[in-house]
Amino acid sequence: MSRFDGASTTDQVIEGVSLKGKCAVVTGASSGLGLETCRVLAAAGAKVLMVARNKEALEAAAVEIRQQQPDAQLLTQIMDLADLDSVRSAAAAILKRADKIQLLINNAGVMACPLMRTAQGFEMQFGTNHVGHFLLTGLLSPALINGSPSRVINLSSAGHKFGPFNFSDPNYHQREYDKWQAYGESKTANVLFSLELDLRMRERGVRAFAVHPGMIMTNLARHLEAADITALTDRSSSSEPLVFKTPEQGAATTVWAATTFDLALEGGKYLEDCHIAHAAESGDSNGVESYAVDPAEAKQLWLLSENLVGHSFPFN
Residues catalogued as catalytic: 183
DSSP assignment of 63-127: HHHHHH-TT-EEEEEE--TT-HHHHHHHHHHHHHH-S--SEEEE-----S--S-B-TTS-BHHHI
For residues 177 and 195, give the distance between their C-alpha atoms in angstroms, rounded to a whole number.
27
- DSSP track, 240-266: SPP-B--HHHHTHHHHHHHH-GGGTT-
Radius of gyration of the chain, Cα coordinates, nearest whole angstrom: 18
**Distance, CA of 302 to CA of 295 (rounded, Å):** 11
Per DSSP, the three-state class of 284 is coil
How many CB atoms sit inside 10 A of residue 113's CB?
16
Separation between Cα atoms, residue 136 and residue 242, nearest integer Å: 33
Q: How far apart are CA 212 and CA 25, in angstroms?
A: 19
